Structure 1
Amino acid sequence: MIYFDNAATTAPYKEALETYMTVSEKYFFNTASIHQSGKDASRLLEAARNQILDLMELKTYDLVFTASATESNNIAIQSMLKRKKQFGRTILTSELEHPSIVNVLEEMKNDGFNVKYIDTNEAGTVNLESLKSMLDSDVVFVTVMALNNIIGSVQPIKEIVKMLKDYPKVHFHVDATQAIGKADLDYNGVDTISISAHKFNGVKGIGGLFIRDLATIRPVLYGGGHEYNIRSGTVNLPGITAMAKALRLTLGEAREVNKRLSQFNMKIRESVEGLEFIRLQPKAAPYIVNMSFVGAKGEVVVNALSKRGIAVSTTSACASKLATLNETLLALDNEDNVIEGSIRISMGRSTTEDDVNKLITALKEVYEELGDVLK
């Protein structure tokens, strides 16, 4: 199978897997134990934590390890809104967010919060003028993802940080899950930032939440007080050390990989531009191409490509089984038949030109196969 679904998950680096296994064998101890082996494991934990903070250039932040970006998003949102409720009830977010943001915010409506959506520009980025017009004394929380998981648009994080300086009671959260190694962003000034290791060639089951002011966060789950009493539960030390290794390797090769994937991105786009019933979404991050077979169903295209040994997806793997039109593509004013026929092609560090050539051949074969279905 030729893999073009890297936005859903990535293959772990061999080095990250080796780190995971070594730590599992030699440092399986509980980092909260007070015996010497526990202390050794704890020192390794803190070394990995500091390495990640250093690599992310967030040395003044704290980092709480979680099981996923979904958990990190939930902690940031639920914790802060409990605290902020007395100061205001309005939440601002983009129309481009992942279900682990959107669904939590929808739940917060039941607790008396108002959720308002910032307008989206044609390129798939938030409209800063729209955001500016929506800011008032009742706004307590703003959340905007760093890089969209459907079309790859990169959001103006630094500009939003500057804008929110005039609103000190607003907490700014960024879901950076898709952005690590794909976009060169400065997160300093953001209040909380979520990441997940399996999106940048680490292992599954480990994520993180960077926190600018630890004293402002309260636990959502209660237990033994691990991770600054923010995220109780025995710490996944093998996963954490593997994440540190994967992050270092990812950032070390990011420029080279992104240059290559950007060329592949253009090659894929150029190969289908002359096809009447193909619609391409705007190009942004180098590793994502979103296109629609207008008149067909995205699931049909995905299955047809799968039969040819090529793995792509429809939308987010976390939402692909939901019978709803994708929020990102709706925000870009796409017609229903364009959204329904959408597929996401997402490349990774191991994608080769031969892979791309085979994908292009398969796309054209599927296009011809669908024939009169397209319109």
Structure 2
Amino acid sequence: MHYFDNAATTKPYAEAMHTFNKVNEEYYFNTASIHKAGRDSAKLLEASRKQILQVFGLPHYQCVFTSGATESNNIALQGMLRRKKRFGRTILVSELEHPSVINILDHHQKEGFKVKFIRTTEAGRVDVDHLKSLLDEDVILVTVMAVNNIIGSVQPVEEIREALTDYPKVHFHVDATQAVGKVRFNYDGVDSVSISAHKFHGVKGAGALMLKEIKAAEPIHYGGGHEFDIRSGTVNLPAVTAMAKALRLSVEGMSNDKERLKDFNRMIREEMEALRSITIQPSGVPHIINLSFTGAKGEVVVNALSEKNVMVSTTSACASKRATSNETLTAMGVDKEVIDGSIRISMSKDTTHRDVKMLIRSLKEVYEEIGDVLK
């Protein structure tokens, strides 16, 4: 199989799996238990927490372990809106966000919050000047992802943080799911940052929410008071320790992986740009390419490639079954015909030269197979 859907999920590192299995076997105890085995497990949990914050350059933040970025986004946004609603009702959000952000805000509009969308440039980036024009004393939340999951555009996180300096009431949340191990950001000063382990070669079921101030969050469900009373439920210690290992390995290998993926990205673009009826979107990271078979349907292309044992996607896996146009490409002003024919190719450290050659060959074969549609 030739796998090009790494923006949806990645294969765990062998080292992360080893950590996961070892902790399951030797530290299967409840970290909240007060006996020695529980205390030893709790020490391992805290060591993982400390390592994650150090890797992010946020040693003075708090790290709450969750099941993934969707839960982290829910805790950060829902809890914050509860606390801040007496100070204002306006939320500024990019048009590029994941459903786990957009759907939260849609729900809270029913409670009287006012959502305003920040415009998107043709390059798929947040328009910072438009953001500045929307800022006023009623704004309590700005939420922007670090790297877009559809085209790979890198968002101006640090510029936005600077723009918010004169608005201390505003909570700035960043969904960093697609950025970890791909792009270096300075998150210091951002109020909350969410991540998900399986996006950077950890195991599924683990994520984290990093908070500048723990009081900025409130629980969205209640139980035994785990994780600073923010996220109750027995902590998944094996997955958390595997996440800490995967994070360290991803950051350490970032530079080498980036250069190799840049070469692969260039190879794919050069081969596909030569074909009529192919449209390729701009990007900011080498591991994601969004291209369109203009005039065809993206689902048709995905299925045709799947028959050739090449796995790509049309959009975010969390939204791929919705019969709506892609929000990112729509926000960029892309023609509907191009949007309908779009597919996402996403690579990782596991992508090989052989994989890329097979992808290019298969893309050309599908292009020929559906040629009548593209004319």
Question: Scaled by the length of structure 2, what TM-score is found?
Answer: 0.99
Shift of 1:216: 2.3
Shift of 1:133: 0.2
Shift of 1:263: 1.0
Pairwise CA RMSD: 0.6
Supply the distance in 2 between the matched residues of 1:63 and 1:93 (Cα, whole angstroms).
24
Indicate yes or no: 2:7 matched with 1:40. Answer: no
What percent identity do the matched residue pairs reach? 62
Supply the distance in 2 between the matched residues of 1:48 and 1:184 (Cα, whole angstroms).
20
Runs of 4+ in structure 1 deviating by more than 6 angstroms, as ranges, are: none
SS at match of 2:253: helix
Higher mean Cα deviation, 3-12 or 277-286?
277-286
Supply the distance in 2 between the matched residues of 1:163 and 1:117 (Cα, whole angstroms).
16
Supply the distance in 1 between the matched residues of 2:111 and 2:78 (Cα, whole angstroms).
11
- Equivalent residue, structure 1, for 2:54: 54
Amino acid corresponding to residue 350 of structure 1 in structure 2: D
Supply the distance in 2 between the matched residues of 1:39 and 1:208 (Cα, whole angstroms).
21
SS at match of 1:193: strand
- Equivalent residue, structure 2, for 1:155: 155
Supply the distance in 1 between the matched residues of 2:81 and 2:111 (Cα, whole angstroms).
9
- Equivalent residue, structure 2, for 1:345: 345
- Equivalent residue, structure 2, for 1:263: 263
- Equivalent residue, structure 2, for 1:360: 360
Indicate yes or no: 2:275 matched with 1:313. Answer: no
Supply the distance in 2 between the matched residues of 1:218 and 1:299 (Cα, whole angstroms).
40
- Equivalent residue, structure 2, for 1:132: 132
Shift of 1:76: 0.5
Amino acid corresponding to residue 250 of structure 1 in structure 2: S
Supply the distance in 2 between the matched residues of 1:230 and 1:267 (Cα, whole angstroms).
46
SS at match of 1:23: helix
- Equivalent residue, structure 1, for 2:190: 190
Amino acid corresponding to residue 117 of structure 1 in structure 2: F
Shift of 1:218: 1.3
Shift of 1:360: 0.5
Shift of 1:77: 0.6
Supply the distance in 1 between the matched residues of 2:266 and 2:254 (Cα, whole angstroms).
18
Q: Aligned pairs, how many?
A: 375
Amino acid corresponding to residue 77 of structure 2 in structure 1: I
Shift of 1:295: 1.0
- Equivalent residue, structure 2, for 1:327: 327
Indicate yes or no: 2:305 matched with 1:289. Answer: no
Supply the distance in 2 between the matched residues of 1:216 and 1:89 (Cα, whole angstroms).
16
Shift of 1:107: 0.5
- Equivalent residue, structure 2, for 1:96: 96
Where do 5+ consecutive residues of structure 1 fail to align? none
Q: Deviations over 1:66-92 (max 9, x none)?
A: 001000000001000011111111000
Supply the distance in 1 between the matched residues of 2:77 and 2:258 (Cα, whole angstroms).
31
- Equivalent residue, structure 2, for 1:374: 374
Supply the distance in 1 between the matched residues of 2:211 and 2:138 (Cα, whole angstroms).
23
Where do 5+ consecutive residues of structure 2 fail to align? none
Shift of 1:372: 1.2
- Equivalent residue, structure 2, for 1:15: 15
Amino acid corresponding to residue 122 of structure 2 in structure 1: E
Supply the distance in 1 between the matched residues of 2:131 and 2:262 (Cα, whole angstroms).
30
Supply the distance in 1 between the matched residues of 2:286 and 2:216 (Cα, whole angstroms).
36
Shift of 1:116: 0.5
Supply the distance in 1 between the matched residues of 2:374 and 2:166 (Cα, whole angstroms).
50
Amino acid corresponding to residue 25 of structure 1 in structure 2: E
Supply the distance in 1 between the matched residues of 2:51 and 2:74 (Cα, whole angstroms).
25
Amino acid corresponding to residue 241 of structure 1 in structure 2: T
Supply the distance in 1 between the matched residues of 2:18 and 2:207 (Cα, whole angstroms).
19
Question: Scaled by the length of structure 1, what TM-score is found?
Answer: 0.99
SS at match of 1:144: strand
Indicate yes or no: 2:221 matched with 1:215. Answer: no
- Equivalent residue, structure 2, for 1:239: 239
